[in-house]
Chains A and B, each alone.
Chain A
Amino acid sequence: MTTLVIAEHNNEQAQASTFNTIAAASQLPGDTVVLVAGHNCQAAAEQVAKAQGVSKVLVADADYYVHLLAEDLEKLVVSMADDYSHILAPASTFGKNFAPRVAAILDVQQISDITKIESDDTFERPVYAGNAIATVKSNDSKKVITVRSTGFDAVAQEGGSAAIEVIDSTGHADTASYVGEELTVSERPELTSARVIVSGGRGMGSGENFAMLETLADKLGAAVGASRAAVDAGYVPNDYQVGQTGKIVAPELYIAVGISGAIQHLAGMKDSKVIVAINKDEEAPIFQVADYGLVADLFKVIPELNEAL
């Protein structure tokens, strides 16, 4: 058995999710081979080759792989699939976009968002927004899987020395093309790999008021997140959203400010190690998952907290 991991990267650097996915692959029998498809992506490939548990890195370099469109990645991964028993991708928007296409062409029922590996064919995954955990056995001869990052501690990014091999590209599909991107630029850590997250909800009242959460985040070296309500209200961009259909996070410390705690939000953060809730409504469901709850007006206590830290 050999597992193929599809690396998520921006050509210069591998995303944290890649190392969580390699960790999941390391729990499966046999070697772990990582595919880095991209354009001028040597730096990302070299970074992956140094990670623990990687036996080989395959690089497919072509200009049309620069944005890793699902249609192109499908062709490439399907062309390689014969050599692998398991194909793993991060359960990020990157992995979710292309992995089901690969599964469909290979005639495999994909297992999405696994959080635990029980054996080479049996996996745990949350369903119903994390309100239930299903143990699923795949009877397909090949497994196509997406891996929830919070379920697997990332492998160390040093000490490894996997060989890097160049493989052939498989062409550009003319059905889809890249037009542009608007990416949020931030000096703060990435939400899905941050040690501390400060999140704001509808209670923040406006986008301007998020400034005080940013101050708090900077004091704690934290990332800033938000509930769906705050994103829908236009306070912050979509990539801040934590929840069932946004980002799934599990930091050491999650501070929920002015967030009521709808089940869809809890689904995205309830595996955090320590949860703090600050809300003026003492009946807010967020307090049911909080280790430390402070019933108070956030506009009074956040400045106090910023002072105290």
Chain B
Amino acid sequence: MKILVAIKRVIDANVKVRVNTDNTGVETTNVKMSMNPFCEIAVEEAVRLKEQGVATEIVAVSIGPQQAQETLRTALALGADKAILVKSDDDLESLAVAKVLKNIVQKEEPQIVLLGKQSIDSDNNQTGQMLGALLGWGQGTFASEVKVADGKAQVTREIDGGLQTVELSLPAIVTTDLRLNEPRFASLPNIMKAKRKPLEEIAVADLGVDVAARTETLKVTNPPARSEGIKVESVAELVDKLKNEAKVI
């Protein structure tokens, strides 16, 4: 069984993001970029499914600028067998990304598409679900456990009230939540090996997919700052402040 993993290159999770001076976005020059953490979990899950003998081939796909190649090399070092970079210098919206992925899925014919539940830049949480709808496939979103057997996937999902389990007939979409697994680090020999694995590049324009933007970002601003607080010295002082100053208890 083939598994497709979609990954995104984003500002590293440990970078303190700053709004740029002309309020059009955030500062990206000289900022460390990495694989979106939820996508790392998706790659790890694909590798584990291959180690379990469920999957036979893992294809990693990314849509982004030339530098997204590095992100794909990381996926190859972690255990993906081949990679596809759909080159786009514009930041595509999730609907456009889902359409591009649909095109790739139709060529690659995977049984499972694994994606992170959201990227930590746009925080949209849309692409997997959109891809599921466009393909007419079932989905297990926010997965904390995935079991694949007999042409079906059983996915345990993290929902607001606790956990829910659904059964999906394959092919299907799975989006990953934080506790699905703990991603491994790529070993040096595997990083070297990854350099020789196939990485195909396609220009997004060559796919014939409508990727036109549907929204405009009018401005990006800092969130309202909180006024500076105070330190209290004791429990008694804290209780007094909450009762008499903040009046919340």
B129 engages A104 (CB within 8 Å): yes
**A138–B214 CA distance with the chains assembled, in angstroms:** 6
Say whether, besides A182-B162, A273-B248, A177 and B95 are in contact (CB < 8 Å).
no
- B246 close to A253 (CB less than 8 A): yes
| Residues on the A chain within 8 Å of B249, using CB | 196, 220, 253, 309
CB contact list, B158-206 vs A, under 8 A? 158-169, 172, 177-179
Q: Which of A97, A136, A238, A292 contacts B216 (CB 8 A)?
A: A136
B interface: dominant SS: mixed
The reply to whether A237 and B162 form a contact with Cβ atoms under 8 Å apart is yes
A292 to B139: give the CA distance in the assembly, Å.
44
The answer to whether A132 and B165 touch across the interface, beta carbons within 8 angstroms, is no
**CA–CA, A275 to B154, complex, Å?**
40
Bound complex: CA A283 to CA B167 (Å): 46
Determine if B125 and A174 form an interchain contact, defined as CB atoms under 8 angstroms apart.
no
Instruction: Decide if A289 is an interface residue (CB 8 Å cutoff).
Output: yes
Tally of B interface residues using CB under 8 Å: 84
Which residues of B52-90 have CB atoms within 8 Å of chain A's CB atoms? none
B239 within 8 A of A: yes
Which of B18, B128, B144, B238 has the most A CB atoms < 10 Å from its CB? Answer: B238
Residue pair B161, A100 in contact (C-beta under 8 Å): no
CB distance from B30 to the nearest CB of A (A): 17
| A292 with B126: CB separation less than 8 A | no
| A131 B215 Cβ-Cβ under 8 A | no
The answer to whether A239 and B160 touch across the interface, beta carbons within 8 angstroms, is: yes
B136 at the interface (CB under 8 A from A): yes
Q: How many Cβ-Cβ contacts under 8 Å join chain A to chain B?
A: 261
By a CB distance below 8 angstroms, the chain B residues around A111 are 215
Q: Which of A104, A136, A175, A238 contacts B169 (CB 8 A)?
A: A175
Residue on A nearest B162 in the bound complex, by CB: A183
Interfacial residues of chain A within 250-298, with CB under 8 A of chain B in the complex = 252-253, 263-264, 270, 273-276, 287, 289-295
Binary B-proximity of A141-152 (CB < 8 A = 1, otherwise 0): 000000000000
Listed stretches A22-30, A48-56, A120-128; interface member:
A120-128
B215:A192 contact, CB within 8 angstroms: no
Stretch at the interface among B42-50, B105-113, B226-234: B226-234
Across the interface, do B138 and A175 meet the contact criterion of CB distance under 8 Å?
yes
Cα distance A130–B227 when bound, in Å? 17
Listed stretches A32-40, A66-74, A79-87, A163-171; interface member: A66-74
Contact between chains at A113 and B238 (CB < 8 Å) = no
Q: Are the CB atoms of A232 and B229 closer together than 8 Å?
A: no
Identify which of residues 228-256 in chain A touch chain B, using a CB-to-CB cut-off of 8 Å: 228, 231-232, 237-239, 244-245, 247, 252-253
Residue of A nearest to B229 (CB): A291
Q: A128-B123, A231-B179 are in contact. Are A179 and B229 (CB under 8 A)?
A: no
A291 to B133, CA, bound (A): 45
Docked Cα-Cα span, A127 to B221, in Å, equals: 10
Given contacts A96-B125, A109-B215, A294-B232, contact A274 B246 (CB under 8 A): yes
Which B residues lie within 8 Å of A135 (CB)?
A: 217-221
- The complex places the Cα of A100 from the Cα of B101 at a distance, in Å, of 15
Q: Mark B125-166, 1 if CB is under 8 A from A, else 0.
A: 111111111101111111010000000001001111111111
CB <8 Å contact, B126 and A110? yes
In the complex with contacts A105-B133, A128-B17, A292-B241 CB distance below 8 A: yes
Is the beta-carbon distance between A238 and B163 smaller than 8 angstroms? yes
CB-defined contacts of A192 to chain B, threshold 8 Å: 160
CB pair B121 A97 closer than 8 Å: no
Which residues in A have their C-beta under 8 angstroms from that of B128?
Answer: 100
Contact of B235 among A98, A129, A305 (CB under 8 A): A305
Task: Report A98-114 CB contacts with B as 1/0, cut-off 8 Å.
Answer: 11111111011111110
Confirm or deny: A137 has a beta carbon within 8 angstroms of a beta carbon on chain B: yes
Q: Is the CB of B222 within 8 A of A132?
A: yes
22 residue pairs of the A-B complex, CB under 8 angstroms, read A93-B160, A96-B142, A102-B133, A126-B123, A131-B16, A134-B217, A138-B215, A178-B164, A179-B167, A232-B179, A238-B177, A239-B160, A245-B118, A264-B13, A287-B231, A289-B229, A291-B230, A294-B234, A295-B231, A305-B235, A305-B238, A308-B239
Beyond A108-B214, A113-B124, A181-B163, 4 additional contacts (C-beta under 8 Å) are: A97-B129, A108-B95, A128-B121, A136-B218
